[in-house]
Structure 1
Amino acid sequence: MSQPLSGISVLDLGQIYQGGYTGLLLSYLGADVVKVEPPWGENVRTRSDDGKPPQLQYLNATKRGITLDLKSSAGTQALTDLVAECDVLIENFATGKMAELGLGYDTLSEVNPELVYAHGSGYGDSGPYAEYPAMDLTVQAMSGVIHTTGYPDQKPVKAGPAICDFVGAVHLTLGVVSALFRRERTGEGDYVEVGMYDCMYPTLASPVSAWVAGKDTPPRTGNRHSGLSIAPYNVYEADDGYVAIICVSERHWTGLAGLMDRPDLIDAEGYDSKAARAERLEEIDALVDSWLDGRTKDAVVDALLDAGVPCAPVQTVEEIVDDPHLRERGMVNDLRNQGEGRAEIPVPGMPIKFAAVDDPEVTQAPLLGEHTEEVLAEIAGYGPEELQRLRGSADGE
């Protein structure tokens, strides 16, 4: 059986992370994704002197790559010719930028009424913030992510991963697939837009719920529960690292109390319900800390898992890229590094699995403009004269 999006062609004008990951997911779903860059390369290429940074290779595997100067008439015409034959265009330029270039949805939908045009941005196309410049850091700040991350007696900090970019990309991908599904029934294309800021609000379920409930909780709770309503719920120090432990049910607490050799606490007043234990955060954390003293993180995790208690070691980046679970599920794929640094790039695989379809093959990210002539000839029907005219435009002739 073919991949779900087999036969779908995508023009990926995405840049940095939000756009890059949207295109990557669509390629893994089976679409033929063509990454479109300016002749000098997209923004993320500037993160290394050779223009081949790991980030670009990480998020642009399994795509073909072309270069077009969209500020030139030849480049604009070439993209328009490609749009006429393609199913999807994705971009995450500043809101209104494509329209300024004469390549907005209103224009391109006339060229191809069945086009699904997907626009990712920081704040969406409407609202007071629509024209604000946006990157993952600024959206983390605006959305409350930074305010709720860190410890109450310290300044707020950003989340380590670029969560706004990637949450936004997943929502944009869902929008594209939904629009394609609708097109199957109606024959009509659509304009899909996703603002990262909108996507982050649902992630504040615990802090907002604590506010709704009128709880006098600090905005930042470190590694404890955002609403301070579960204990234990923390990251605890072992002799050689850290372990995350959480008890969300009575059986979890029973298992942990037994391991700590404190069966007396299982049914004791003040410990016999989740709500009661949440009132004893400091005391319960101290009990867990004392139990971990002298133990390694692997020994702690093994014991907790045997007792049915939710837990996990805090893994380092080095441990994650060699993680046996991720590798067995095809989520880490070692490809040759085209740039400087280690010999291989651990490129992410497809997290969505289908029973009837094998995981997609993960191939190298394209070099800058590697498939320009191939794609224009194959999709837009360009012959030698059109290709030469485009080359001349790129050379400034």
Structure 2
Amino acid sequence: MTPTRALDGIVVLDLSQVYNGPYCTALLAQLGAEIVKIEPFGGEPVRWRTVGEQQTAAFDLLNGGKKSLRLDLKNPRGTELFLRLVARADVVVENFTPGALDRLGLSYEVLAQTNERIILASGRGYGASSPRARQRAMDLTIQAVSGVMATTGRPDQPPTKAGPAVADFFGGTHLMGAIAAALYQRTITGRGQHVEVAMQEAVIPSLTSSIAGYLDSGGTCPERTGNRHGGLAVCPYNVYPAADGWVAILCMADRQWRALCLLMDRQDLADDPELASPPARVAQMDHIDDLVAAWTAGLARDHLVARLEEAEVPCAPVLGLSDVMTGPLVAADGMIRPVTDPNGRRTHVLGSPLRLGASAPVSPAPAPALGADTEELLGRKLGLSADDVRKLRDENVV
């Protein structure tokens, strides 16, 4: 008997592209949902954007295990086929520019007329009440207007983009949560609904330390604090040099500070009443950072981490991407999973951070080639014959 998964039997029509929506549907796929990725004839932008005819690693990572249907939604016959699929689906996910779905004649009202249980999930840049609600948005622009760039980098340097695409992925994660809530509510009401998540709104909670620093200081706390705590409320809290690398160290609790002092052979610092509380240490942040850095610089990174961990001082080595890609996160059941596609090409797909004890994990599978499942999907879901699909291909519908 096949183990049940949390979303077994749920069918998702995935119109989304780039990172925001595809990560949302990747999470749904890891919980057992069937994801039908519907793309235009040229494929979604991330498929080809850097390496010509070869599928990009970014596309592979986000679309493992999904099925691909090529469909021209601007063709009336394509719209008809899509609505027939909607009648047999549970969720439609899209992150088009605002109004694009309406222009295709596929608004939520139209979808709900076809299937009252359908859930339309829209990834947006800005909230519906925002003055920028109708504007195009990408991760970079959301970072710019939400405070992420203003709080990233050092005080004496320009605002800086965060390395990860935080707005895209926070938005996608929240969108997945909204879908899960709507699926649950549907079990009570019997009806679907339209859910929306704005990237700008989803990323704001991650700025809690910086916002709190602004509020607690009456607006005088620096926006950009480098590797220090966003609200300058914790010390030590920084990245410190080792003899052969870098180590992140922080002391949230007084006992952690005392443990660090003992490791540094500085009992005098542990006993100093002027350093006995978090606010007191924050007041001497530069001095403490200099002391810690002078100690860490003389020790090998891994030896330093081992000593800190043994003393229960929060820390971690600063790893490069080469370290991550050759480390334990890359494994058949890891967050980065090696796979081989039907053509023998080795690539990677993302795993899931969602671990449910009663929902069996999904085996890693490669991302599909464009339109690879068109005939199988239209035959199984809509009862179309091979000849029917061939005619649709001849008419440039699929």
- Scaled by the length of structure 1, the TM-score of the pair is 0.95
Give the corresponding residue for 2:199: 196
Question: CA separation in 2, counterparts of 1:100 and 1:236?
Answer: 54
Q: Match for 2:177 among 174, 183, 201?
A: 174
Give the corresponding residue for 1:2: 4
Give the corresponding residue for 1:154: 157
SS at match of 2:395: helix
Asked if 1:258 is matched to 2:262, the reply is yes
Moved more, 149-158 or 319-328: 319-328
Instruction: Please say if residues 98 and 136 of structure 2, whose CA atoms lie closer than 8 Å, have aligned partners that are also in contact.
Output: no
Give the corresponding residue for 2:44: 42
Q: In the alignment, residue 267 of structure 1 is paired with which amino acid?
A: D
Change (3 A) 1:206 1:338: farther
Change (3 A) 1:209 1:395: closer
Change (3 A) 1:178 1:301: same
SS at match of 2:69: strand
Asked if 1:348 is matched to 2:355, the reply is no
Instruction: Please say if residues 19 and 62 of structure 2, whose CA atoms lie closer than 8 Å, have aligned partners that are also in contact.
Output: yes
Instruction: Please say if residues 228 and 278 of structure 1, whose CA atoms lie closer than 8 Å, have aligned partners that are also in contact.
Output: yes
Moved more, 18-27 or 325-334: 325-334
Change (3 A) 1:272 1:337: farther
Instruction: Please say if residues 341 and 367 of structure 2, whose CA atoms lie closer than 8 Å, have aligned partners that are also in contact.
Output: no
Instruction: Please say if residues 16 and 44 of structure 1, whose CA atoms lie closer than 8 Å, have aligned partners that are also in contact.
Output: yes
Change (3 A) 1:240 1:164: same
Give the corresponding residue for 1:24: 26
CA deviations on 1:155-195 (whole Å, 9 max, x unpaired) are: 11100010100000000000111101011111101101111
SS at match of 1:210: helix
Change (3 A) 1:270 1:327: farther
Question: CA separation in 2, counterparts of 1:133 and 1:204?
Answer: 23
Question: CA separation in 2, counterparts of 1:209 and 1:144?
Answer: 13
Q: In the alignment, residue 167 of structure 1 is paired with which amino acid?
A: F
Give the corresponding residue for 1:236: 240
Question: CA separation in 1, counterparts of 2:397 and 2:214?
Answer: 59
Q: Match for 2:127 among 115, 118, 124?
A: 124
Q: How does 1:63-74 map to 2 (within 5 A)?
A: 63-74=66-77
Instruction: Please say if residues 87 and 116 of structure 1, whose CA atoms lie closer than 8 Å, have aligned partners that are also in contact.
Output: yes
CA deviations on 1:23-61 (whole Å, 9 max, x unpaired) are: 111111100111110011001123120150110011000
Question: CA separation in 1, counterparts of 2:173 and 2:323?
Answer: 25
Following TM superposition, by how much is the alpha carbon of 1:327 offset from its aligned partner in structure 2, in angstroms? 3.8
Q: In the alignment, residue 318 of structure 1 is paired with which amino acid?
A: S
Q: In the alignment, residue 27 of structure 2 is paired with which amino acid?
A: L
Change (3 A) 1:256 1:359: same
Question: CA separation in 1, counterparts of 2:136 and 2:42?
Answer: 22
Unaligned runs of 5+ in 1: none
Question: CA separation in 2, counterparts of 1:184 and 1:162?
Answer: 34
Q: In the alignment, residue 183 of structure 2 is paired with which amino acid?
A: L
Asked if 1:381 is matched to 2:383, the reply is yes
Q: In the alignment, residue 103 of structure 2 is paired with which amino acid?
A: E
Following TM superposition, by how much is the alpha carbon of 1:384 offset from its aligned partner in structure 2, in angstroms? 4.0
Q: How does 1:295-374 map to 2 (within 5 A)?
A: 295-324=299-328, 327=331, 330-336=334-340, 344-374=346-376
Instruction: Please say if residues 75 and 397 of structure 2, whose CA atoms lie closer than 8 Å, have aligned partners that are also in contact.
Output: no
- Scaled by the length of structure 2, the TM-score of the pair is 0.95
Q: In the alignment, residue 280 of structure 1 is paired with which amino acid?
A: Q
Instruction: Please say if residues 337 and 348 of structure 2, whose CA atoms lie closer than 8 Å, have aligned partners that are also in contact.
Output: yes
CA RMSD of aligned residues (A): 1.8
Give the corresponding residue for 2:55: 52
Q: Match for 2:146 among 131, 143, 147?
A: 143
Following TM superposition, by how much is the alpha carbon of 1:324 offset from its aligned partner in structure 2, in angstroms? 2.0
Change (3 A) 1:307 1:327: farther
Instruction: Please say if residues 143 and 149 of structure 2, whose CA atoms lie closer than 8 Å, have aligned partners that are also in contact.
Output: yes
Following TM superposition, by how much is the alpha carbon of 1:346 offset from its aligned partner in structure 2, in angstroms? 3.2
Following TM superposition, by how much is the alpha carbon of 1:395 offset from its aligned partner in structure 2, in angstroms? 7.0
CA deviations on 1:100-138 (whole Å, 9 max, x unpaired) are: 000111111100100011010111334211111100000
Question: CA separation in 1, counterparts of 2:5 and 2:162?
Answer: 34
Instruction: Please say if residues 349 and 366 of structure 2, whose CA atoms lie closer than 8 Å, have aligned partners that are also in contact.
Output: no
Question: CA separation in 2, counterparts of 1:289 and 1:163?
Answer: 29
Asked if 1:208 is matched to 2:211, the reply is yes
Instruction: Please say if residues 12 and 91 of structure 1, whose CA atoms lie closer than 8 Å, have aligned partners that are also in contact.
Output: yes
Unaligned runs of 5+ in 2: none
Instruction: Please say if residues 52 and 338 of structure 1, whose CA atoms lie closer than 8 Å, have aligned partners that are also in contact.
Output: no
Corresponding residue pairs, total: 394
Question: CA separation in 1, counterparts of 2:390 and 2:350?
Answer: 37
Question: CA separation in 1, counterparts of 2:317 and 2:356?
Answer: 29
Q: Match for 2:137 among 130, 134, 143?
A: 134
SS at match of 2:257: helix
